[in-house]
Amino acid sequence: MSEEKTNHKGGYSETAAIRTQHERTDFREHSVPLYLTSSFVFDDAEQARALFADEVPGNIYTRFSNPNNTEFIEKLCLLEGTEDGIATASGMAAMYISMASLLKSGDHILASRSVFGSTHQILNIIFPKVNISYTYADITDPKSWESKIQSNTKMIFVETPSNPALDIIDLEWLGKLATKHKLILNVDNCFATPYLQNPAKWGAHLVTHSATKFIDGQGRVIGGAVLGTKELIKEVRFFARHTGPAMSPFNAWVLSKSLETLAVRMERHCQNALHLASYLENHAEVLKVKYPFLNSHPQHELAKKQMRHGGGVVTFEIKGGIDRGRKFLNSLKMISHSANLGDTRTIATHPASTTHSKLTNDEREAVGILPGLIRISVGLEDLKDVIVDLDQAIKNSQ
Ligand SMILES: Cc1ncc(COP(=O)(O)O)c(C=O)c1O
């Protein structure tokens, strides 16, 4: 990295997010250039041999590494307090390789029941094909977790806050449980981002991200990251190099720039989300609101212990169930009806019929995805305008 590299030692730092940059070229550019190249040239045959033999560091081919990807990852590692990492083409590529690269046939994963729909499909449909099994444990019942650890358990996988139930898991307790049983603790930190929470601080060995969400923050590109200890990332990197889920350098360039503004964006997302959650909690047509920094959230104290703020997502259940929920979504005028989250634009989603539609009714109910649940990813617009739109949609759905 460049001479502008800070002396930062881990944990969130605005300066590290802004000033970590790939070495400046002879063109003396201020902002990092885009290294849109598939391969890199060798000075001579000896350098080519030494690079392939891992005797010297350097770029060979963009499936293995690229300056934009390296910059993005070095920055994320500084912000998360992790030793190493790799950038992936999507969040799901990150989730998949963080497990597939480290597990083998016969291994078992203990996972929180509240995981993203596609992660559920990996555990439920894809891994059983190669004899990797899983058991779910409930976030709200931590006492039951230890008894679910088997002699072949290798990894604990969790998401906190979870999508879309916004359940919180105690990372300090989980870090201790993983240490006691010598398990790899893998935390999907997508909802919190490194600005709100650093799982490695509590003992996570792997921190996984969908960078598509708040890290991009503007709904433009898909990307992911696996971060963690040098030892584990060495294996993840080998797997990625030979199976090819690499992030495009263009996306890495966009995402590294996005990290420069993560702190200010997250401050505003969280401020807007808290105000919106409080507003909805007092709305006569709303049955239930969930947001980690509302006093009414069942794990409010825990959320305050491990998160800086409550995040940018609020869920609520409108009176009148699924039919009213659908009418509400069809009545929105400004708020986008879309399946993404973590955008500057406020987005409403109906998880039961979209992101979590592949789960059975029972599976959805077990993780609190009720038929009428609406997920709001609160954007950066003037909150007054968001409330006006929500209000009119609630009225017009009656
Ligand atoms: C918690 C969580 N993990 C992983 C993913 C998957 O990320 P991507 O869509 O970038 O593959 C998502 C997507 O919504 C998510 O919410």
Q: pLDDT by residue (tens digit) across 267-298?
A: 999 999 999 999 999 999 999 999 999 999 99
Question: Please, which pLDDT band fits residue 3 given cuts at 50, 70 and 90?
Answer: very low
Domains in the chain: boundaries: 14-259, 262-396
For the 14-259 domain, the top CATH level (class) is alpha beta
Q: What is the CA radius of gyration of the chain?
A: 21
Given a contact cutoff of 8 angstroms between Cβ atoms, the answer to whether 219 and 33 are in contact is no
Please give the distance, rounded to the nearest whole angstrom, from the Cα atom of residue 262 to the centre of ligand 1.
18
Please give the distance, rounded to the nearest whole angstrom, from the Cα atom of residue 342 to the centre of ligand 1.
11
Asked whether residue 6 carries a pLDDT value surpassing 70, the answer given is: no
Please give the mean pLDDT across all residues of the chain. 95
CATH for 262-396, among 3.40.50.720, 3.20.20.150, 3.40.1440.60, 3.90.1150.10?
3.90.1150.10
- Name all residues whose Cβ lies below 6 A of ligand 1: 90-92, 95, 116, 118, 159, 163, 188, 190-191, 210, 212, 222, 224
The ligand 1 atom nearest the CA atom of 191: 1
Question: Please, which pLDDT band fits residue 354 given cuts at 50, 70 and 90?
Answer: confident
Asked whether residue 104 carries a pLDDT value surpassing 50, the answer given is: yes
Number of Cβ within a 10 Å radius of residue 75? 25
pLDDT for res 110: 98
Instruction: Please provide the DSSP assignment of 274-310 as one string.
Output: HHHHHHHHT-TTEEEEE-TTSTTSTTHHHHHHH-SS-
pLDDT in tens, 181-195: 999 999 999 999 999
Higher pLDDT, 355 or 260: 260
pLDDT for res 368: 81
Please give the distance, rounded to the nearest whole angstrom, from the Cα atom of residue 285 to the centre of ligand 1.
30
Number of Cβ within a 10 Å radius of residue 322? 15
pLDDT for res 9: 54
Of 243, 238, 237, which is closest to residue 225 (Cα–Cα)?
237
